């Protein structure tokens, strides 16, 4: 399975071995509960013009990674827009966070998992673009804002976004969110290449 990890202009990211730390949790990361569209704590944003996407959100009880229910996104046509599964998060500026979740699809599908500001200019400090297929796949994203946006803010109005880029049925389950700033600051620096003369 191919994956691409991209970085936005305000990303502070270190590749390291993450130990268990205490941190903020998502609301209903297991997508459990009684619902007809999106799980409690989650919302759908769908937009497009002139052709609006055709997508149905709902609970899935047959294809699950853990617990009794996963979130199902059945995309028939993306039209001229997009559909996003989101949960709002208020992030501390200057901190680094870890998102983990599991994805599966009924056919090959490209999916983005990202942290994104939920107000203009919708900065994306961390994003993973992955190819999802019929086997459950864990996606891990590390990132955060290493500066304050705007300059007088100490809290970033952000959100976790799962965005399918093709048609088919996508399943999402077992999402977690943690503040890993302490681990990042205390991690040893591991160099694999010499420092270039110009950088």
Domain carrying residue 166 = 3-9+27-186
Sorting pLDDT into bands at 50, 70 and 90, what band is 12?
A: very low
Q: Which two tokens stand for residue 122?
A: 């919708």
Question: Is residue 155 scored above 90 in pLDDT?
Answer: no
| CATH number of the CATH domain containing 137 | 2.60.120.260
Say if 153 falls within a structural domain. yes
| Pairwise pLDDT comparison (195 vs 41), residue with the higher score | 41
Domain assignment present for 40: yes
β partners of residue 143? 97
- In this prediction, residue 14 has a pLDDT band, given cuts at 50, 70 and 90, of very low
Query: DSSP assignment of 57-116, as one string?
Result: EEEESSS-SSSS-EEEEEEEE-TTEEEEEEEEEEEETT--EEEEEEEEESS-EEEEEEEE
195 lies in a domain? no
φ/ψ of 6, rounded to 5, equals: -115, 155
**Quick check: is 67 in a domain?**
yes
Taking residues 139-160, what's their average pLDDT?
80
Domain presence at residue 147: yes
Establish if 168 belongs to a structural domain.
yes
pLDDT score for 16: 29
Residue 15 covered by a domain: no
Residue 1 reports pLDDT greater than 80: no
- For 19-27, what is the mean pLDDT? 55
Report the domain count for the chain. 1
Could you write out the DSSP letters of every residue in 4-24?
Answer: EEEE-TTB-----PPPP----
Q: What is the arithmetic mean of pLDDT over 69-83?
A: 98
176 domain residue, yes or no: yes
pLDDT of the residue at 146: 66
Instruction: Give the Cα separation of 118 and 38 in Å (integer).
Output: 18
* C-alpha–C-alpha distance, residues 72 and 106, integer Å: 11
């Amino acid at each position: 399975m191919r994956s691409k990890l991209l970085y936005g202009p305000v990303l502070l990211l270190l590749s390291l071995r993450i130990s268990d730390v205490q941190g903020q949790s998502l609301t209903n990361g297991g997508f459990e509960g009684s619902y007809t569209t999106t799980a409690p704590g989650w919302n759908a944003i769908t937009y497009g013009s002139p052709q609006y996407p055709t997508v149905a959100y709902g609970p899935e009880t047959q294809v699950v990674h853990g617990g009794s229910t996963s979130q199902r996104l059945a995309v028939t046509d993306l039209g001229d827009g997009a559909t996003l599964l989101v949960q709002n998060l208020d992030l501390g500026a200057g901190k680094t966070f870890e998102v983990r979740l599991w994805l599966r699809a009924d056919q090959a599908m490209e999916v983005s998992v990202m942290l994104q500001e939920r107000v203009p200019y919708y900065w994306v400090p961390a994003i993973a673009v992955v190819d999802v297929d019929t086997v459950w796949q864990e996606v891990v994203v590390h990132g955060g804002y290493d500066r304050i946006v705007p300059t007088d803010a100490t809290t970033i109005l952000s959100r976790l976004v799962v965005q399918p880029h093709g048609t088919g049925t996508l399943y999402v389950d077992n999402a977690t969110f943690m503040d890993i700033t302490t681990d990042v600051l205390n991690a040893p620096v591991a160099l694999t290449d010499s420092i270039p003369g110009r950088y």
